[in-house]
Amino acid sequence: MSLHTLKYTSTKTWHSIVLIVTLLFLNLLWSCDPESVIDIEPDKNDSASLDFVYDDQALPEITIQTTADEWNKLLMWFDMNEDNEEYIVTDFTFKKGKYNFKADSTGLRLRGNTSRRRPEGAKGEVHNPEAPDWKHVSFSVKFNKYVKGQKIAGQEKMNLKWHKDDPMYVREMYCYDLFERAGVWTAPQASYSKLNLTVGKVSAYYGIYLMVEPVDNDYLKNRKTQFGDNQGFLWKANWGADFVSADKNRMGLENVTLTDAYTPVYDLKNRETDIQLAKTQLADFITKFNSKSGTEFEQWLVSVMDVELFLKTYAVNVLCGMWDDYWNNKNNFYFYFNSEGKFFFIPYDYDNTLGTSLLMNDAGKQDVLNWGSKSHPLVRKILAIEKYKNFYLQFLRYMIQPENDLFHVYKSKARIQNWHQLIGNHITNDTGEDMEIADRPASWGNCGFYRLLDDNNNFFVTKAASIP
């Protein structure tokens, strides 16, 4: 397979070129009239695009405002069930340049797995306006929870993540950016923001947060052309999603209340009334994937998957050192069947990467052909086919070449330094947590020696050297 099939055109690259040309033109106009101000940004709430909202070269400001009573509900519900998904009523503002999006009566809830915790005080305490004990948490915002049709950039929701396991403030941002650069259009978009919180009359600056595009119906709609449609079944894969067992009892609809929580291994995220049809389709896919072999398997595979897109996805995944994934830990991904039954793998949740690892001896040196369990067929059976193994290895080699501006150490360092210039002066926050950028992995990881900017024990160098 020739290398020209591996080349891509980055959306952000083209946008950058257009922006530069536009700015040069504007400079000519401004030189004639120094007082002129030309607004090239959206000026209406419904005119923003995803690329505008998730622009990683800008730093918008988000403000979430609620009453003390509503905030206390959030605290009380957390005490009742930490995994609850109950929403409180808030007002939401997104400011970027001259663009000012305001949404009243939005829904706000806590999100996250290991990152989920109380956003203020200890169990049983209510909001303390005199001395609030703020804590970093991750939020989910639902714009249309209480106002029908309310959206930003075609999105009903937005996820706001704190950098719990990333003292570098770049790991998840880097990974999603790399997916886009590599032409993996299934990855969600992400970017930085400054987050402010107001409870009653008390305001707090929560620091730098990552905005992440949710994988939901709007995500499907925004990629309708690439998927072929947005009418199929969208699944979230939780821990245990190995694609080995076709047991329908492992498939279902998540049901989280204030007193209980049910989370299936395969969690259907849309078309809930068609759950039985969705289960049958998934069970059939798993059964056929495991039972077919030889030429029959290859012919069936190309009819139900974009195999090269999947292998590109996994090449990026492995380069980034994503150990808490399907192949190694049968966890942290979505997948979609379009209306014709074609399967698409969707990467998700990349905060524990680039040297932060566990459940693997050393993600930097781990063999890229033996990344995870041999019992997880979704990757193993595909890579057992020689032409696909060669494509996967060829794409890995392509990604580490400096001229391609993908995973090479110097190119990666430059992008990280650029992001640090953007956010560095805004790290200090009212929680008193995570107030410095430090070049190290998470403290609980098993390879604390890896660095991203330092040349010693550099993760990019080590990982690139592992490519055969």
pLDDT tens-digit readout, 235-267: 999 999 999 999 999 999 999 999 988 999 999
Q: pTM of the full predicted structure?
A: 0.91
Residues 257, 392 share a domain: yes
Between CA 65 and CA 77, with CA 71 as vertex, the angle to 5 degrees is 140
What does the alpha-carbon distance between residue 127 and residue 133 come to, in Å, rounded to a whole number? 8
Residue at 274 is within a domain: yes
Residue at 419 is within a domain: no
Q: Which residues pair with 108 in a beta bridge?
A: 88, 141
Q: The domain containing residue 195 runs over which residues? A: 50-214
Q: Which residues in 298-427 belong to E strands, given as ranges? A: 333-337, 343-347
Residues 96, 22 share a domain: no
Residues 281, 387 share a domain: yes
Residues 239, 388 share a domain: yes
Residues 150, 248 share a domain: no
Q: Which residues pair with 345 in a beta bridge?
A: 335
Residues 372, 297 share a domain: yes
Residue at 432 is within a domain: no
Residue at 405 is within a domain: no
DSSP letter, residue 458: B
Last residue of one domain, picked from the residues 165, 188, 214 = 214
| Contact between 402 and 410 (Cβ < 8 Å) | yes
Residue at 411 is within a domain: no
Q: What is the pLDDT along the chain (468 residues), one digit of tens a residue?
A: 444 444 444 444 444 444 444 444 434 433 333 332 323 344 444 458 999 999 999 999 999 999 999 999 999 999 999 999 999 999 999 999 999 999 999 999 999 988 899 999 999 999 999 999 999 999 999 999 999 999 999 999 999 999 999 999 999 999 999 999 999 999 999 999 999 999 999 999 999 999 999 999 999 999 999 999 999 999 999 999 999 999 999 999 999 999 988 999 999 999 999 999 999 999 999 999 999 999 999 999 999 999 999 999 999 999 999 999 999 999 999 999 999 999 999 999 999 999 999 999 999 999 999 999 999 999 999 999 999 999 999 999 999 999 999 999 999 999 999 999 999 999 999 999 999 999 999 999 999 999 999 999 999 999 999 999
H or E stretch at 159:
strand 157-161
Residues 161, 304 share a domain: no
Residues 188, 69 share a domain: yes
Number of domains in the chain: 3
Rg (CA), the chain: 23
Residues 257, 154 share a domain: no
Residues 19, 80 share a domain: no
Residue at 437 is within a domain: no
SS3 252: strand
Residues 26, 101 share a domain: no
* Torsion over CA: 66, 67, 70, 72 (sign): positive
Last residue of one domain, picked from the residues 190, 214, 238 = 214
Residue at 416 is within a domain: no
Distances (CA, A) of 262 to 9, 74, 256: 42, 20, 6
Last residue of one domain, picked from the residues 188, 214, 240 = 214
Residues 182, 74 share a domain: yes
pLDDT in tens, 391-409: 999 999 999 999 999 999 9
